[in-house]
Amino acid sequence: MRLFRGHWQLIALTALVFVLWQTPVILPLKILVVFLHEVSHGTAAMLTGGKVESISLSTMQGGVTVTRGGSLFVILSAGYVGSLLIGVVILLIALRTHADRGLMALLGLVTLVITAFYMREIFPLAFGLGTGILMLAMARYLPRDVNDLVLRLIGLTSMIYVPYDIFSDTIVRSSLRSDAYMLAENYGGATVLWGGLWLVLSLGVIGLCLRFGLGAESNISFKR
């Protein structure tokens, strides 16, 4: 009962995401998580001495990052792990700080820069530009509490989507040419082994985030 009183908004938001999961309402958030996934691949490439050639997204919640050089193992591993960690960081900053408008503006700016440098096709360009501009507008014109709520929604959606996608793409459909499939192809082991490791890791990270990040109270008061 104490848990519900202290975090009823977060619980309701999570339930809402699950209820609307298969509807078009959540689709933009899912594509945003795919964007974070692809950005994580690109970031891993650059951090290991490689280069990002292009990033693409699709309306079917797919994405491709073309890289050159760098550590293939780190690049392939970074997609799910990176997007999950980004989601966790976004949620924790929203929960534990008042930097919501600054974080929203930073996300918008980074999205626009990545779009300008690495996206070439019509849909990724439109999505990246629209999302980046919307985030900057929210940071500039909407109250901090509204930005806080949206950041929580982004963080939660990423945390829900990552283990779901891992389970779907690497365990249920292990023949799919996923990141885990390519890891198995290049480094041995089975697709389900890599997918299973990522699934356990993702659930562990989510558990730690909820255990140590929530605190006693997370509800937004929406005071001016």
The answer to whether residue 81 sits within a structural domain is yes
Is the pLDDT reported for residue 49 higher than 90? Answer: yes
Do 187 and 68 contact (CB within 8 A), yes or no?
no
pLDDT at 176: 84
pLDDT at 214: 80
pLDDT at 169: 87
* 133-182 per-position pLDDT tens digit: 999 999 999 999 999 999 999 999 999 899 998 998 888 888 888 899 99
Least confident of 94-98, 182-186, 207-211: 207-211
| Domain, as residue range, for 207 | 26-213
The answer to whether residue 98 sits within a structural domain is yes
Is the pLDDT reported for residue 217 higher than 90? Answer: no
Residue 78, SS3? helix
What tokens were used for 166? 């891992």
Phi, psi of 53 (to 5 degrees): -90, -45
Is the pLDDT reported for residue 119 higher than 60? Answer: yes
Is the pLDDT reported for residue 34 higher than 90? Answer: yes
Is the pLDDT reported for residue 87 higher than 90? Answer: yes
The answer to whether residue 139 sits within a structural domain is yes
The answer to whether residue 37 sits within a structural domain is yes
The answer to whether residue 82 sits within a structural domain is yes
Return the ∠ at Cα 63 (arms to 82 and 53), rounded to 5°: 85
Rg (CA), the chain: 18
The full DSSP string for 147-186 is HHHHHHHHHHHHHHHHHHHHIIIIIITTTS--HHHHHHHH
Is the pLDDT reported for residue 224 higher than 60? Answer: no
Domain count, the chain: 1
Which parts of 48-143 fold into alpha helices (H)?
Answer: 72-96, 100-118, 122-141
| 223: confidence class by pLDDT, cuts 50, 70, 90 | low
The answer to whether residue 115 sits within a structural domain is yes
pLDDT at 66: 95
pLDDT at 110: 97
Average pLDDT, the chain: 92
Residue 223 to residue 57: CA distance in whole angstroms: 38
pLDDT at 74: 95
Q: Tokens 């909407």 appear where? A: 142
The answer to whether residue 6 sits within a structural domain is no
The answer to whether residue 20 sits within a structural domain is no
Do 103 and 171 contact (CB within 8 A), yes or no?
no
Amino acid at 70: G
Count of CB atoms situated within 10 Å of the CB of 81: 20
Is the pLDDT reported for residue 67 higher than 80? Answer: yes
